[in-house]
Structure 1
């Protein structure tokens, strides 16, 4: 009797070990979290790259639109900001920071801000000395400098990663229809109500 019970138990154990029913479900259940994390990570990475590309295009548009005019008023600069930020669609443009500055390089190669405007950001003050690349620092010239950045918060996983600041790299453009002015007669985009530079008074 005891021997029969042992044989029956042994037979049941062998049947259980050789049974392959449900193996696929168990494997799928084990892989599902890994696959879900990989999928979400891939989607977020693609979104991050797309937003970063749009921020670069936004910065380029800011410098290009400003460099096309001779003079700008505050209303004109607002229109440039409004036009350029449509590039960010369908992303939230309230998370974007934009800066436009007219930079004048004097006879000794020192770059100073003649005027600047910002939206949701910090613009350098008039007369402030700034660093520009050597390719831009040509004496007795001016350049439009634009900067834009975007605060991107991932839809999933933001607790772990936090918010990413994308962009914030300057793009420069030479004035195309500038007005010669200031003490050195430098061609530049002049802002209405502001003296042409390098007269920083």
Structure 2
């Protein structure tokens, strides 16, 4: 007797299509969540990478506009430029500014350098410049910024990702002629003009 009642219940269970959509959704949900979280994390990564490029450009541009800078002025330039990173933490940014003088043979050497959370370049250190910037008896402002981005969710992208660190160059717009070759440059108030290294 019990066999007769069990068989119709089993047949009814096999034919029943209610809940199929729920089962399919439960199977697709993990894939959809991973795709969504990955899209959010990659979008954030692209956005902060763009902000780091804008930060580097702003550092070079703000410095190239002036005739001379004092150490306090450079700190103000760092403060102003890092506001570009909002709403991201500016404490994760490393910034380096340098005035590079190119001598008559096309060799670029650091005249002065400042940094925030990074490593300043030593005065007189040789810098490899791209050919488009390497013009004899000129100077250029070199800015470099990088950012350690840690994904907010950290599910698809994990760990800190270093962004930026590509130099951007700007020619001085109102520089002062100085040094033994009278090269127009952004002068640092507490250092001699170059190429006197």
TM-score by length of 1: 0.94
Deviation of the 1:11 alpha carbon: 2.5
Matches of 2:46 and 2:184 in 1, distance apart? 37
Deviation of the 1:32 alpha carbon: 1.3
Note the residue ranges of structure 2 that are not aligned, 5 or more in a row: none
Matches of 2:169 and 2:14 in 1, distance apart? 71
Shift in alpha-carbon separation, 1:119–1:158, aligned structure 2, 3 A: farther
1:173 maps to which residue?
Answer: 170
1:145 maps to which residue?
Answer: 142
Aligned ranges 1:55-134 → 2 under 5 Å: 55-134=52-131
Question: Which string of whole-angstrom CA distances, capped at 9 and with x for unpartnered residues, describes residues 114-167 of structure 1?
Answer: 000000001211100011100000110000000011110001126962101111
* Secondary structure class of the residue paired with 2:26: helix
Note the residue ranges of structure 1 that are not aligned, 5 or more in a row: none
Matches of 2:30 and 2:111 in 1, distance apart? 56
Q: Which moved more, 1:30-39 or 1:176-185?
A: 30-39
1:32 maps to which residue?
Answer: 29
Shift in alpha-carbon separation, 1:30–1:149, aligned structure 2, 3 A: same
- Structure number with greater Rg is 1
Deviation of the 1:28 alpha carbon: 1.3
* Secondary structure class of the residue paired with 1:161: coil
Q: Which moved more, 1:56-65 or 1:157-166?
A: 157-166
Report the RMSD for the aligned CA atoms in angstroms.
Answer: 1.4
2:44 maps to which residue?
Answer: 47
* Secondary structure class of the residue paired with 1:127: coil
How many pairs are equivalent? Answer: 197
Matches of 2:13 and 2:51 in 1, distance apart? 58
Question: Which string of whole-angstrom CA distances, capped at 9 and with x for unpartnered residues, describes residues 69-119 of structure 1?
Answer: 011000000000011111111111111110100000000000000000000
